[in-house]
Amino acid sequence: MSNSFLIFSSVLFAAFLGLSFIQVTKIYDPEHHGDHHGKVVYGFPVPETVSADAEEEFMTPIAVRLAGANPALGPKHAAKCTTCHAFEQGGAAKLGPALWGIVGRDIASAEGFAYSGALMGIDGAWDAQALDGFLLKPKAWAPGTKMGYAGLKDDADRANLIAWMFQQADAPVALPEPSAEDLAAVEAHQASGEH
Ligand code: HEC
């Protein structure tokens, strides 16, 4: 047996030990008490990482978040937007278009505003779902947008802001009702034991 093969084998074995250790600690870590996805096969833990990751990324559907949102907290978050946007009735465009009556308005349709091709290329009107996606990560939802804003990461904060934006209109649009799928998704998530 050559020396280099021995070195190779021991490195491999060390890596294997390291990986096993990581997996064992992950499964028995009290922080992960809700994680029942790992199973043990012949003494070796086999975490089902795909479903575990999906759980971590669960986002309560926007219609459900809106039902529990507090629009009175909207202005606090809108303060991050007002360098570029006017929200009030009759407000003029600044760096970004005026946002009075934005809910239900066609995307990129403010008269006279020079939108990016990115935003103009997106069909449809601003509803709760579109606003939630855009405001989470503007540059991911509308690649190439010229809105220079990184995004509002907290799902509850975004819902409070959007609930308030629904009210900033001559004839406010009603909040969307959670669909059967929305409620089923929340129920399945709760049943999975995650928080
Ligand atoms: C640094 C300036 C800036 C900030 C901060 C900013 N925006 Fe914008 N926003 C823009 C620009 C510029 C556009 C036009 C984007 C394009 O054409 O790609 C835009 C577009 C939009 C649109 C689409 C409007 C339409 O007519 O289709 C919405 C909705 C919007 N912003 C909401 C917000 C909200 C809510 C915030 C705060 C959480 C915010 N923006 C923060 C500059 C900004």
Measured CA to CA, the distance from residue 151 to residue 140 in angstroms comes to 10
Multiple choice CATH, 62-176, 3.10.290.10, 1.10.760.10, 3.30.70.20, 3.40.50.2020: 1.10.760.10
Q: Which of 82, 149, 155 to mutate to test the pocket of ligand 1 (most atoms within 8 A of CB)?
A: 149
Instruction: Report which secondary-structure segment, H or E, holds 187.
Output: helix 180-191
Answer yes or no: are the C-beta atoms of 97 and 110 closer than 8 Å. yes
Q: Could you tell me the distance, in angstroms and rounded to a whole number, from the CA of residue 147 to the centre of ligand 1?
A: 5
C-beta of 164 in contact with ligand 1 (< 6 A): no
Residue 12's pLDDT is what? 63
Q: Which of 16-25, 52-61, 83-92, 143-152 has the lowest mean pLDDT?
A: 16-25
Q: Could you tell me the distance, in angstroms and rounded to a whole number, from the CA of residue 73 to the centre of ligand 1?
A: 19
Answer yes or no: are the C-beta atoms of 163 and 157 closer than 8 Å. no
Is it the case that residue 117 has pLDDT exceeding 50? yes
Residue 51's pLDDT is what? 54
Measured CA to CA, the distance from residue 46 to residue 40 in angstroms comes to 6
Q: Could you tell me the distance, in angstroms and rounded to a whole number, from the CA of residue 179 to the centre of ligand 1?
A: 28
Collapsing DSSP to helix, strand or coil, 75 comes out as helix
Q: Which atom of ligand 1 is nearest to the CA of 109?
A: 26
Is it the case that residue 139 has pLDDT exceeding 50? yes
Output the DSSP codes for 26-66.
Answer: HHH-GGGTT----EEETTEEE--HHHHHHHHT----HHHHH
Q: Which two tokens stand for residue 190?
A: 């709760």
Average pLDDT for 141-160: 98
List, for residues 49-88, the tens digit of each pLDDT value. 555 555 568 999 999 999 999 999 999 999 999 999 999 9
How confident is residue 147, by pLDDT bands cut at 50, 70 and 90? very high
